[in-house]
Amino acid sequence: MLPDKLYRKIGLRHFSGSLRKLSEVQEKIDFASNDYLGFSNSLKIEHKHFPSGSTGSRLITGHSQFHTQVEQQIAAFHDVEAALLFNSGYDANLGVISSLTDRMDLILYDEKVHASIRDGIQLSKAKALKFKHNDLDHLKILLEKFHDGLDREVYILTESVFSMDGNSPDLARLIEITASFKNAHLILDEAHSLGVHGNQGEGLAQSLNLHKAIFARIITYGKAMGAHGASVLGSEDLKQYLINYSRSFIYTTAIPPHAIAYIQSAYKKLQDQPEIVKQLQENIAFFNKCIVRMGLRLRFRESVTPIQICIIPDNHKVKQLSSVLQAKGFDVRAILSPTVPKGEERLRICLHSFNTKYEMQDLLQLLAKNI
């Protein structure tokens, strides 16, 4: 049995309407998954034998020539010196942030960064301060106040696309601010930007030709790429450091070859079929026009990404509206507090390259009738 205090915590979730439950995916029109390009059902790999497991960590028996080959391909695609594969974006953020810092260092992070970044910060020994969401003036104030001229390293952590808001920082200004402070380094999580921004879905930083100024980029393959795993992009020196000091890389069974084959296939598809990325971008533009036309602009947060946010305050109300949409065949999920702040509960609508104009229009019409 659980201790009483843990039963009470579960009871509070029941009472607030925020109890999390596992649910099987039903056959509905997909406006919920992060499979932005539909790759999860369309990737094909060469018919060759891949072992079901990698048998050990990369530093023991889990490394192969195939790992090296695909990391080189990833680095070439992203125009960077080196890439290092991790088992997931969560592992990558944990391993990078916790291994780079010590007690002398300073971490400044956007208040809305992903839980994996927050957990990496908790594992680090550095002093950590958050800045207001996408507020670069606040970031600059913190840098001026706490940088203090000491020989400390400063790591600025943010995302290129925020998973619960669908917005982005002013990346050019962020890089300019970072460069103006001694020993300051930018770490950018591009989990929801890969496959979305750029002519080939290369991500926001690269699409703006700003990637060379970024210390490390973390990209994950479970979203638009329809695969599994993650990579850290950076210098060859950073890669060697992580191989030696990143605990979530060193002490875990390596990502298996068949998973790497799907990553390789996803990159090939991005390069060979860039029209899929263009279709996603056109769908996003069309959806935003429909929001305005149907008088829903005040409900939606502005976003030029697949993540479209419709604010419906109150856990019970947003769950009820999600149920109405689900009953009509639209898979749209409610995001509840405490995942988001109380009063900012929302429907998180994910757009895809395969969603049709009729589906998007019908969804918004149904929303307009029931809000």
The Cα diameter of the chain in Å comes to 60
Asked whether residue 7 carries a pLDDT value surpassing 70, the answer given is no
Residue with tokens 């927050």: 118
- In angstroms, the CA 100 to CA 107 distance is 11
Q: For 188-214, how does the pLDDT look when each residue is reduced to its tens digit (9 = 90+)?
A: 999 999 999 999 999 999 999 999 999
Q: Provide the pairing of β-strand 333-335 with 346-350.
A: antiparallel
Token pair belonging to 116: 């994996």
Residue 82 has pLDDT above 90, yes or no: yes
Cβ pair 63, 254 in contact under 8 A: yes
Say if residues 345 and 318 touch (Cβ distance below 8 Å).
Answer: yes
Q: First-to-last CA distance in the chain?
A: 42
Could you state, in order of their start, the residue ranges of all structural domains in the chain? 17-36+274-370, 65-272
pLDDT of residue 88: 97
Q: Give the pLDDT of residue 16.
A: 74
Coil/strand/helix, residue 157: strand
The mean pLDDT value for 156-171 works out to 97
23 burial level (CB within 10 Å; 0-12, 13-18, 19+): exposed
What are φ and ψ of residue 30, in 5° steps? -75, 105
Cα of 168 vs its chain's centroid, Å: 12
* pLDDT in the model for residue 53: 87
CATH class name, domain 17-36+274-370:
alpha beta
Does pLDDT of 157 surpass 70? Answer: yes
Q: What contacts 24+ positions apart, CB below 8 Å, involve 9-14?
A: none
> Taking a C-beta distance cutoff of 8 angstroms, is the pair 214, 186 a contact?
yes
How far apart (Å, rounded) are the C-alpha atoms in residues 169 and 295?
A: 27
Mean pLDDT of the chain: 94
Q: Has residue 18 got a pLDDT over 90?
A: no
Provide the pLDDT confidence category of residue 6 given band limits of 50, 70 and 90: confident
Q: Are 138 and 176 in contact (CB under 8 A)?
A: no
What is the assigned CATH class of domain 65-272? Answer: alpha beta
Separation CA 363–CA 331 (nearest Å): 10
Residues linked to residue 331 through DSSP beta bridges, in sequence order: 30
> What pLDDT, on the 0 to 100 scale, is given for residue 349?
98
CB-based contact 277:195 (threshold 8 Å): yes
